[in-house]
Structure 1
Amino acid sequence: MSYDLVIRNGNIVDGLGGEPYVGDVAVKDGVIVALGAPGGVDGSGIREIDATGLLVTPGFVDLHTHYDGQSIWSDRLNPSSAHGVTTVVMGNCGVGFAPCRHEDHDVLVDVMAGVEDIPGVVMTDGLPWTWETFPEYLDALDAGKRDIDVAVYLPHSPLRVYAMGQRGADREPATPEDLATMRALAREAIECGALGFASSRLMIHKTASGAPIPSYDAAREEILEIAKGVVDGGGGLIQFVPDVPAGGYQPVLQQVFDVAEDVGLPVTYTLAIGNAGEPTWPDAITMTENANKRVGAGSFTAQLLPRPIGLVIGLELSAHPFVLYPSYHEIADLPLPERVAEMRKPQVRERILADKPGQGHPLIYLAQAWNWIFPLGDEPNYEPRHSDSIAARARARGVRPIEEAYDRLLDDDGHAMLLVTTSNFENYSLDTVGALLHRDDVVLGLGDGGAHYGMICDASYPTYLLAYWARDRASGRFSVPEAVRELTSVPARVAGLGDRGRVAVGYKADLNVIDHAGLRLHKPVITYDLPAGGRRLDQTADGYVATIVSGQVIAENGVPTNARPGRLIRGRRPVPTG
């Protein structure tokens, strides 16, 4: 036999949680066609990889990304593709770029700039807007080539604006005619390849202009009619970001659960763990348990990041403690070396520290949550000690926290970064996160790749899970098979992508060859490779010997190849039968 690729002597981790075994994997025409004990795969491959002592896993599936724009203007979906991810799902949070009439381009740019921290000029320069309808947007994705596969939800905010025009952007109630239009458009989207429908009710999801996003307070009837359109088109997944008021996840999340039960659709939603105070997450978990008891296990899932949801702040980034200060604005446009020199002058320091912030995006105010801000070193620590916080360091020095933050921002000649642990860090520990991730109704998510370019770099979480939770953490650890299962077959099942997430004959040949002992996550870096020279955070890792998509090697030892086998996934995929 002749194969396109054979991986020899690897420790095969099947993606289902089974015990690893040493063997060979053979690939032909983008599919796994043979497995065997070492030397048990007869024949040879055009390309062969010696995986002795290395893990061979399925490619990772990321359920929550925002590559809606990057997948148009770039042929690489990094950071995700640098961390073993071979399939991403986008259109999350109900934001995206289709459907959209020409006159509404600025509306959607305003939404994405505010919610996902993508500079407007990047979208204006990078998007050709060769589409209007959702099917036309999928055609544009289908025509492109990229390193990994993409799948798309129909996003609620563009849908609402397309159906209602300015009334939709202004969050006016939908008329019966509006609802009928949205239902028909939802059916069309599913029929042409959408995986489902995504929406958000999160209060801090605001446009760049400061207004709530179009979907923010949409009525239950609107969610129901769109969900019916999904059913009309053949079914799919509802993705939802609930608001979390002081009383917990009720009633916003329950409303979506009720709609999903009424029409028979599964739901996956964003779960965040508060750092302090009375926890609200038990409310959501109880609701999820009860819903699954009523309709069947696995139908309702919470998505949780395996480390703190973290803002990365610094003088070169979108946020830091002084970004809204008028006194800082006086020097903000200076080149970094000149700005740092100014900030080191005692009179400038005194003036800025005595100032007060103006108005800005809600996330920016978190840049003064001193108890939850930590220096981010060259080997980033995402479970830092309380004593390393800006507040604790300030107490140790006998200064105010704002002074400690000011001084730390000037470290490394102004290139220093600080991590704001906004959530998932209950009592300065990841114990709660780990316990929840061991549950069957909690899945990995919220890496947010392709968004928050100047504030968040959480798309590297697969490496963190394997290196920290499945190797370095002292307690609550995952075994390697458990961690791989959570990165592969579990999200594939939730998304309805039955053709991937396993190392088995007949499955799509999306694979990783990993030096588990050598996995190391690097500190985020700032690059200027977006359209119009836009800035973004990127993050790389050591330990990925090869990442393979549809049988083609897209990266070796952290270096991308020229292969671009990634394609648009149109609709859900059945489990292979052969």
Structure 2
Amino acid sequence: MNKFDTLIIGGRYFDGTGGPSRIAHVGVKDGRVARVFDAQPDTSLAKRTIDASGCWVTPGFLDTHTHYDAELLVAPSLSESVRHGVTTVLIGSCSLSMVCSDPEDASDIFTRVETVPREKVLPILKQHKSWQTPKEWVAFMDQHPLGPNVISFLGHSDLRTAVMGLHRATDRNVTPTPEEQQKMEALLEEALQEGFLGLSTMCLKWDKVDGDREWSKSLPSTYARWREVSRLNALLRRYGRVHQGAPNAANPLQVTQYLKETLGWLRKPLKTTLIAMIDLKGNPTVKPMASLVGWLANSFGGNFRWQLLPTPFTVYADGMDIVLFEEFGAGEMALDIRDQLERNDLLKDEQYRRKFRKFYKEKLSP
């Protein structure tokens, strides 16, 4: 009888602990690493042998921030990620998921933020989206031919839009009715029972809505009062799940709301991660302060993490139609204009160009 299903022979083995790599041989049984050998074992111990000479053997990589929500529907293999060693992807970040809202709403809250063409995404959703609830979404994914494993947050903008409608969900003067609040809580609880990782929210004002109906409004999650979010947090705390947020960069003190929620003196701490450290990494003053804030929160019983990309990267853009230009005033002014001729006139205006240069060079602006 074979002791292993597979033997991977002669590869450079990385165990995932951060320790040095080495040439080693890996025995796999029932989908798990059963043993690691330093000396090459007898290949008759396995049903199959893979010669990994000249290759790396690593644990599967977890891509903990993707926006594959629509791509999963038409290219579920996610072959580019898998080719790079990714075996688990996380979707539903930044308050954006495609679970509860209808196809047009889901497209409009997603495409401008993620700089993908609305005319491509909307037809995909109209063709494939047959679900309206977290349970129905999970049932669809269970029969979908996925490449990697998939984890998802339930996006607050998606949830809010499904319950309140896109127009009311992006109106500063509107708060959810008691019935709407209860409906949001019921859908979130269903998602948590179905295995969703938690809830993602958004407070950054520069992520904008696409489409013809509520063009250039901020994402629906940004219009929520904190008491609405706090009630949803109570469910996350009860189920031991995660709140992924993005604080308003124009109001750094808003971080205290997340810190208050994560603390667990007389209650269960709320697992909280903020996708804001990317904006702070290059600032030698603010980064240590942010690290200190996280340390203090955890010292007082919280469960708090900053989230950032682990390596520098380069962005290539053909023109300014990319979300990075939403992040400062003069860029936002131009992108709020849909007509290309009007935008060109603005870009030619000397006063605007001076303002653009001033905003672009301001290192301390949001």
Letter in 2 for 1:142: D
The C-alpha deviation readout for 1:243-288, integer Å capped at 9, x for no partner, is 212x6x322x221221232552211111124587784333322221
**What is the alpha-carbon root mean square deviation over aligned residues?**
3.6
Q: Taking structure 1 as reference, are residues 59 and 354 closer, same or farther at Cα in structure 2, changes over 3 Å only?
A: closer
By how many angstroms is 1:239 displaced? 0.9
Query: What's the counterpart of residue 118 of structure 1?
Result: 116
Q: Mapping of 1:418-437 within 5 angstroms?
A: none
| Pair 1:288-2:289 in alignment | no
Letter in 2 for 1:64: H
Query: What's the counterpart of residue 159 of structure 2?
Result: 159
Query: What's the counterpart of residue 240 of structure 1?
Result: 245
Q: Taking structure 1 as reference, are residues 122 and 294 closer, same or farther at Cα in structure 2, changes over 3 Å only?
A: same
By how many angstroms is 1:91 displaced? 0.3
Q: Mapping of 1:124-203 within 5 angstroms?
A: 124-127=122-125, 128-165=128-165, 166-171=167-172, 172-203=174-205
| Pair 1:5-2:6 in alignment | yes
CA distance in 2, matches of 1:310, 1:38: 42
CA contact (8 A) 1:72 1:141 kept: no
Q: Mapping of 1:475-554 within 5 angstroms?
A: none
CA distance in 1, matches of 2:340, 2:222: 32
Query: What's the counterpart of residue 66 of structure 1?
Result: 67
Query: What's the counterpart of residue 50 of structure 2?
Result: 49
Query: What's the counterpart of residue 317 of structure 2?
Result: 313
Query: What's the counterpart of residue 37 of structure 1?
Result: 38
Q: Taking structure 1 as reference, are residues 82 and 224 closer, same or farther at Cα in structure 2, changes over 3 Å only?
A: same
| Pair 1:214-2:220 in alignment | yes
Return the structure number with greater relative CO, CA threshold 8 A, min gap 6.
1
The C-alpha deviation readout for 1:323-356, integer Å capped at 9, x for no partner, is 97x9x957x9xxxxxxxxxxxxxxxxxx999824
CA distance in 1, matches of 2:84, 2:349: 40
By how many angstroms is 1:110 displaced? 0.9
Q: Taking structure 1 as reference, are residues 240 and 41 closer, same or farther at Cα in structure 2, changes over 3 Å only?
A: farther
The C-alpha deviation readout for 1:56-85, integer Å capped at 9, x for no partner, is 210111111111111111123254333221
The C-alpha deviation readout for 1:390-421, integer Å capped at 9, x for no partner, is xxxxxxxxxxxxxxxxxxxxxxxxxxxxxxxx
Query: What's the counterpart of residue 328 of structure 2?
Result: none
CA contact (8 A) 1:8 1:52 kept: yes
Length-normalised TM-score, structure 1? 0.52
| Pair 1:227-2:220 in alignment | no
SS at 1:22's partner residue? strand
By how many angstroms is 1:33 displaced? 2.6
| Pair 1:302-2:303 in alignment | no
The C-alpha deviation readout for 1:8-28, integer Å capped at 9, x for no partner, is 122322112234343211223
CA distance in 1, matches of 2:142, 2:168: 32
SS at 1:238's partner residue? strand
CA contact (8 A) 2:111 2:118 kept: yes
The C-alpha deviation readout for 1:144-189, integer Å capped at 9, x for no partner, is 1122111001110111122323422435223333332222221110
SS at 1:150's partner residue? strand
By how many angstroms is 1:44 displaced? 4.6
By how many angstroms is 1:5 displaced? 2.6
Length-normalised TM-score, structure 2? 0.79
Structure 1 portions without partners, runs of 5+: 333-350, 360-364, 373-421, 424-578
Structure 2 portions without partners, runs of 5+: 326-330
By how many angstroms is 1:45 displaced? 4.2
The C-alpha deviation readout for 1:354-409, integer Å capped at 9, x for no partner, is 8249x9xxxxx79x95x79xxxxxxxxxxxxxxxxxxxxxxxxxxxxxxxxxxxxx
The C-alpha deviation readout for 1:443-482, integer Å capped at 9, x for no partner, is xxxxxxxxxxxxxxxxxxxxxxxxxxxxxxxxxxxxxxxx
Q: Taking structure 1 as reference, are residues 130 and 114 closer, same or farther at Cα in structure 2, changes over 3 Å only?
A: same
Taking only the aligned residue pairs, the percentage that are identical comes to: 28
By how many angstroms is 1:308 displaced? 4.1
**Following superposition, which runs of at least 4 residues in structure 1 exceed 6 angstroms of deviation?**
275-278, 320-324, 351-354
